[in-house]
Amino acid sequence: MKKENRLAKEKSPYLRQHKNNPVDWYPWGEEAFAKAKKEGKLIFLSIGYSSCHWCHVMEHESFDDAEVAAMLNKHYVCIKVDREERPDVDAIYMDAAQAMMRGGGGWPLSIWMTADKRPVKAGTYFPKAQFLELNEKLHEAWSDPKVRKDIETYAARVVEYLKENAAGEESSEVDPQFIELARYALERGSDREMGGWGQRPAPDMAPKFPSVEVIELLLRYHLRHEDKEALGVAALALEKMALGGIHDHVGGGFHRYSTTRDWLVPHFEKMLYDNALLLPLYAWAYRITGNEVFRDAALDTAHWVRREMTGEAGGFYSAQDADDPGGPEGEGGFYIWNPKGLEELLGKDAARAVALRYDVTDGGNWSHRKGESILQVVQSIPSVAKEMGRGEEEVRKLLADALPKMYEAREKRPKPMTDTKVLAGWNGLMVSGLCRSYQALGEQSHLDAAVRAGSFVRKEMWRDGRLLRRWAEGDAAHDGVLDDYAWVVAAWLDLYECTFDESWLRDAIALQKTADELFLDAANGGYFYTAKDGEALIVRSKDAYDKSRPSGNSVMAQNNSRLMHLTGNLAYGDQARRTLEAFGALMGSNPFGLAGLLNALDFMSKDTREVFVTGKLDDPTTRAFIERVWRDTNPNRVLVVVTPEIGELLPPAKGKDLVEGKPAAYVCRNFTCLAPVTDPSKLDLSYDKPKPEEKSDD
């Protein structure tokens, strides 16, 4: 039995993965910093997360190695950080790494820093020999007083650079034309054959990430301008992902990203946040296009979340690992198939149907595993039926019966680990995703899961008016960052617009107030990433870039705009505008990185609608009004069901009465309302069309 280190007492599954390392790990905290200061040592900071493939590789090669551990323990104070638990720490040192490495970065993130947290060296994954050599040379340099002084001077310059960068650009007016410019750049940069946007230039164009905010921006543009090209680019990306290997056709949900241009070979980890963002996007795209592929992708993603990623109390887990148990060489083994195995499991006919539809061949389609295939849809059901000489319905039944059997068989394989910690912000994203998919598709199970998770966060992770970021094994800890507040406020607003339970609305307003007190930059606009009374790190920054999730500032801008339209309080709208203006100098130049802010800008347009429905919730006409709003494709609206009490909370709801005793709907724009309608079929939320004498923005 290996001796356990300090990380055995931590709640993070990632930190616990390292509890038996011979490295004398400390969690992030004053004990480690005090030791480094007292002993005059540098700190080695290693940041990663539980489902990170190369984090596992570096652990096996170096952190589990006695020679490496002896060297680290002798010369350094070693700290392990779960980047999902402490995104504030990760963000600062990733920025430092990118500055020192001139654009590099990734995980595991390896940082060497002084006892006062100033970084002196950065890297990512290192093979054992290189890691040993680097540490020996750095220790030798640090041991020389003259060289140490130079190192400290360099560290001070890095911190100064980070502070200057964190200050951001000067406030600038935001031009709606930014969206037009973004549409042009996004269409031009897309892969017109395989869909999506690659990280490298054509013809390689890989790896490819889902780019949810970018696709949303193009769909918004299409709806506003009836731009078929924007729709085509967005729909192609969505379809190629849904049909490709990045989509788990047996278990549901999507893997992190594709390592290949054609979306076949994924990086196999599954993250809650990716699926939280893709779920409502596919449901909305289905409403826009009627493409059943999009509906099916949304449904099986929600099914995966409810079946595999939900704790007993309703909170959502964080991730599923990329690696199979047994070591990093096993990545992807859980998900692959071959013709012989299919036939043994399913019988000849069903196996052939699966093989033809999902590209399972004797030679395989993955060079990493000869003779094995990653499932991807390569033939339509009519095409499979024709090749098999069978009817389409017979083939549909063969496939429908086969996939559950494949799932059951796959569950008996060594299964990648699930990270069971619950993160407030990520749960907020999934609650919003389930709410919006419920509205688009009408699946009650989606709303039920959203309510349970929203209630879990409210009960277990909201203490004394503040959010705690992480819950695990009954313990909630770590102050929430901006993202947590932004995504949870959005989730509670979405829960109100699904359930019309006013407690969600009241709590969203209260949480937004707390967020403003803790994070708002009242002088310059926008929100800081960390709270004003949070741990003193080397820099306090404001971030506008989306990365793999929409930026907290973009979601805060939209939350404030939604609250303005709900409450009539124009101060919310001013705050939303000032948040966008804080990053206005950037928005016109980087649509890929700031699509979230551009989506918020679109929401804040003059066409956003306030819809008030008056009537009892159990009245069929009231429900018809509500469902008509839910199914409408226009994303720029808020929805209120008027009750006697809601008028005190939302003044614009006052006076929105029944019409001749009948349920009615009031459609308003900037609180100027059209005449109420009593026939749900006449409810119209479409964008305004320019009058003949007016010029279009096109």
Residues 496-527: pLDDT tens digits?
999 999 999 999 999 999 999 999 999 999 99
* Start-to-end C-alpha separation, the chain: 70
Residue 481 CB-half CA count within 13 A? 24
If you average pLDDT over residues 22-29, what whole number do you get?
98
Q: Take residue 442 and report the two structure tokens written for it.
A: 């009408």
The reported pLDDT for the residue numbered 692 is: 41
Please state whether beta strands 466-472 and 475-479 pair in parallel, antiparallel, or not at all (unpaired). antiparallel
Q: Kindly give, in sequence order, each residue whose CB lies less than 8 Å from that of residue 1, ignoring residues fewer than 6 positions away.
A: none
Q: What is the mean pLDDT of the chain?
A: 95
One-letter amino acid identity for 70? Answer: A
- Beta-ladder partners of 673: 668
The reported pLDDT for the residue numbered 689 is: 57
How far is 366 from 128, CA to CA, in rounded Å? 28
- Beta-ladder partners of 609: 637, 669
| Fold for the domain defined by 606-698 | Glutaredoxin (3.40.30)
The reported pLDDT for the residue numbered 104 is: 78
pLDDT of 558 strictly over 50: yes
Contact indicator for 649, 502 with CB cutoff of 8 Å: yes
If you average pLDDT over residues 576-582, what whole number do you get?
97
How far is 129 from 280, CA to CA, in rounded Å? 46
What pLDDT, in 10s, does the model give residues 98-146?
999 987 789 999 999 999 999 999 999 999 999 999 999 999 999 999 9
The secondary element (H helix, E strand) that includes residue 258 is strand 257-258
What pLDDT, in 10s, does the model give residues 438-480?
999 999 999 999 999 999 999 999 999 999 999 999 999 999 9
The secondary element (H helix, E strand) that includes residue 425 is helix 424-441
How far is 219 from 496, CA to CA, in rounded Å? 25
How far is 299 from 279, CA to CA, in rounded Å? 8
The secondary element (H helix, E strand) that includes residue 68 is helix 66-75
How far is 135 from 130, CA to CA, in rounded Å? 9
pLDDT of 694 strictly over 50: no
Please state whether beta strands 42-48 and 76-82 pair in parallel, antiparallel, or not at all (unpaired). parallel
Task: Give the ranges where 226-329 is alpha helix by DSSP (H).
Answer: 228-243, 272-289, 292-308
Instruction: Considering the domain delimited by 6-166, tell me its CATH architecture.
Output: 3-Layer(aba) Sandwich (3.40)
What pLDDT, in 10s, does the model give residues 336-394?
999 999 999 999 999 999 999 999 999 999 998 899 999 999 999 999 999 999 999 99
Q: Take residue 167 and report the two structure tokens written for it.
A: 């200050």
Q: Which residue has the higher pLDDT, 173 or 310?
A: 310
How far is 217 from 596, CA to CA, in rounded Å? 8
How confident is residue 330, by pLDDT bands cut at 50, 70 and 90? Answer: low
Which of 434, 471, 426, 462 lies closest to 450, judged by CA? 434
What pLDDT, in 10s, does the model give residues 249-261?
999 999 999 999 9
The reported pLDDT for the residue numbered 589 is: 86
How far is 470 from 10, CA to CA, in rounded Å? 12
Domain boundaries, the chain: 6-166, 190-417, 606-698
Same fold: 6-166 with 606-698: yes
Which of 559, 319, 315 lies closest to 459, judged by CA? 315
